[in-house]
A and B are shown apart, each in its own frame.
Chain A
């Protein structure tokens, strides 16, 4: 699996650390809504298909990336800095050569 880091280019997955489901939304810090906190801390989407994920380029520039990955084919559809800014389309593996 290759993940295209907007800084570093396409790099092997071995350089990255998975940092979880990217769909979670952290409640406001002052929120006392325990259900919302529970959902944020414990609930994870687990789709068979396209999934928004957070990956850190821990063996590289250490930026966190938002990665759209197909969990069935491991195809990387897009990557972008989690902080926003520069986006990069992942290299697409075509179904047919």
Chain B
């Protein structure tokens, strides 16, 4: 492979040689090269294989819109696929591989797909993958089998499986003016805004600021445009108000002028500097956005337009001027507009032979004729390229006479020997961000392009983005936009003077040359002009349907180069003008965005941990912790060699025989205070609280507005206007929000405040026959006997010199007390209780034993209050006051909520002495082969030491009427079937004699 590097010129550092590999072979390039330019300089023409047909493909473009030359970059085991080679800056040690080829890029077996082109035409996914609906393979998985191979053959890069160890960062930024794009328009806008004192962010998706100034060959203020741009960038760098973001793609424009950008911080480095993330996600809130995003050159659609060596004219010019690489030695230019003439002159200047300029227009201006002579090129006006030749590189092409109005070809084909074809089908402003921000783009018949819509957010366009393709216009519009964005007045100061090649910005309205052979519209998805017409013949008329059916514009490049030609061909097929066919709206992201950057620091185990005040004690004393929401709670305090079941059975048994203590600090606690607190609670709970005496607690139930059960808990009246509400652990936040909503929105007249005090209190529940004796042994300042502390009574005292509040209430069914102290003293009080309990055989117990004892008692929790059950379903209708309305009272008696066949809470006893599983179904008749006929399901289950049986709580249709009947548990997932008896949910001590004492 010969070197195509020119002797001089370019914005590369020839003194710095960089070594890298591509498909395992070593290459060199210079600092300032992209992977594309360095490989092109080394004579590489073949960069990839196409999506469906595996056709050889070379570089089409030089920038972000490149559809063909997609590569995978490897860093260790981490692979990042589908990156345009034009966007990869080379660094020492870069390892890149081509994609979609097997076994190698040059020799690709699947290229045979080309022979099966008919099979893989438009809609091939839909036609192929629907599967046989008749015939011997009907209903089989045959199509899945086929799909596996077709998908492997038709595809792009392969994602890796190694974990990405890179670090990503998220930044929130604020500015007065965000300038997107740093060509002459963007630079002028940033400078003008910064000079007004505005806070400016300038984002450029490439490594170099300057955009077209880096390769236009124009002169600005008597200096090469690139030097002029460099000077401006230097001035911006020196301004504290300005933040320059190179390698930063603004990829999303959201409401409220919020924009998302991706900064590739170290992708171009061999080794990241200490502390540098790989990529940084920027969320930018901008006062005003200046969109100076430029434009994309369009390819022309003609047979063989995808042959390696056929590229966009400006890309050829850019490789020559910016990277000092000649894409070919014998170049032909094919165009429908004036801009390619400048490219021809530039290529000639750089040392290439420009053999011919093929222009579809027969009338070419005298200025363009002069440029053709300057390029030493034969001008073939009124001609078109009708075929290309060559395999992995272009060797020649054929031209014919072309009639602009009819599109007809005539005369003999003429062959021209060439290794590069530089084409230009006109230019499309890069309106993606404006489109994301709101309104529809508007078709401009002169420019033959969609121009940006009227702003619906605060942005101003400048330069080629607006359809003003000359540098002089870009500079003027850029300065005006910058001034306006910063709130300045129009400047009368002279503008920089541009010396440029002249040209008419309007192309001829020619998108396709209809001749025999595959003419590609969407290079990346292998969509041909014929595919578009086929879709039309098959009845697709809407642009959105056509797009999905042909997959036009749906590849990773999102049709940056193919959208307008594709639309033009659709419009022609439909016999409609382009604006009537319309364009699709662009959506974020503008280019591919790594998932890592979106997650940034938010990955792994990021949820906060809520630990009770006694957490460390639990750990030190052998607790196995269990995560319940954000909380960590002891599950069991296992002894050596114990199973979980053995541990909780021991803990529950000991509690019922002597005493047990459990940490209940996680219960939600809300202080409800104020003159109307009692009235508020009457409205919130189904039962009365205004009648509750000070120093007493009451169990309460809340419903939702729709009448279904919401949450339960006890509320303590600490003073006339002072209540302490407890909620279930899981619902603490929801209940708080519920109370706040009613106080703020529905009943603002109530004088009540609610405050979450969950974290202020440590709570320990001590229960069992010996519980009172243990308390008596350590509590000072109050008696705890029946008279002083009756059931649901509250007393204040001290334990270990710490003030405590004790309420006699029971969840376990034993005589039990909840002891609350300030959170900071939780462990001190806990330890004092443990110490006092030693002579009485006190055990600590965890969630498993707590759950076991509550199941034995038939108490409900979140498993039963599941958002579908009513108070009646749970046999809590005794709590529904008839003396007052409350939240849910109006809706709770609706027909469906009082039906007799509703799922109701029952108890189940295993008759085969085997454990149950939560979620298992209850059936009347067992059918293991074909499980069906569920009449309910298990919500909670355990081994009951008190009953010596496996028991469960369940919600069963018309459950109450089924007490004493037999049924079956049916759990096909876990293969557990067996007989059960349906009983009352109150398994143990149903009259409550133990807790009342």
Contacts and interface: CB of A to CB of B under 8 A. Distances in A.
B256 A56 contact: no
B484 interface: yes
B671 to A, nearest CB: 14
25 contacts: A1-B256, A2-B285, A26-B746, A29-B683, A29-B886, A30-B885, A34-B894, A37-B890, A37-B891, A40-B705, A41-B705, A56-B740, A56-B744, A62-B740, A64-B744, A64-B745, A73-B456, A83-B745, A84-B748, A93-B256, A93-B458, A94-B458, A95-B456, A97-B458, A97-B459
Interface string A51-88: 00010101000111000000001110000011110000
A84 B885 CA distance: 25
A17 B456 contact: no
Given A19-B741, A93-B457, 5 more contacts: A26-B746, A31-B890, A54-B741, A56-B737, A97-B460
Question: Helix, strand, loop or mixed for chain B's interface?
Answer: loop
B22 to A, nearest CB: 43
Nearest to A25: B746
B485 A74 contact: no
Nearest to B744: A64
**8 A-B pairs with least C-beta separation:** A64-B744, A29-B885, A74-B255, A83-B748, A82-B745, A97-B458, A82-B744, A37-B890
Contacts of B258: 1
Contacts of B460: 97
Question: Helix, strand, loop or mixed for chain A's interface?
Answer: loop
Interface in B382-423: none
B288 interface: yes
B706 interface: yes
A27 interface: yes
Contact of A96 (B255, B455, B745): B455
Interface residues of B, number: 32
Contacts of B459: 97
A46 interface: no
B485 A97 contact: yes
Contact of A34 (B255, B288, B705, B890): B890
A34 B745 CA distance: 21
B861 interface: no
Given A56-B740, A93-B256, A95-B456, A41 B706 contact: yes
Contacts of A1: 255-256, 258
A74 B256 CA distance: 8
Contacts of A73: 255, 438, 456
A32 B893 CA distance: 11
Interface of A: 1-2, 17, 19, 26-27, 29-32, 34, 37, 40-42, 54, 56, 58, 62-64, 73-75, 81-84, 93-97
Nearest to A42: B706
B256 A2 contact: yes
B257 interface: yes
Nearest to B289: A97
A57 B683 CA distance: 24
B890 A58 contact: no
Given A41-B705, A54-B745, A93-B256, A32 B890 contact: yes
A38 B150 CA distance: 54
A2 B745 CA distance: 22
B456 A41 contact: no
A48 B171 CA distance: 33
A64 B885 contact: no
Interface string B694-711: 000000000001100000
A85 B744 CA distance: 12
A56 B456 contact: no
A17 B484 CA distance: 36
B885 to A, nearest CB: 4
Given A93-B256, A94-B458, A97-B458, A64 B288 contact: no
Contacts of B744: 56, 63-64, 81-83
Contacts of B288: 97
Interface in B876-929: 885-886, 889-891, 894
A21 to B, nearest CB: 11
A17 B737 contact: yes
Contacts of B454: 96
B737 A41 contact: no
A28 to B, nearest CB: 8
A79 to B, nearest CB: 14
Nearest to B890: A37
Interface in B539-562: none
B667 to A, nearest CB: 21
A94 B487 CA distance: 14
Central interface residue in A30, A81, A94, A95, by most chain B CB within 10 Å? A95
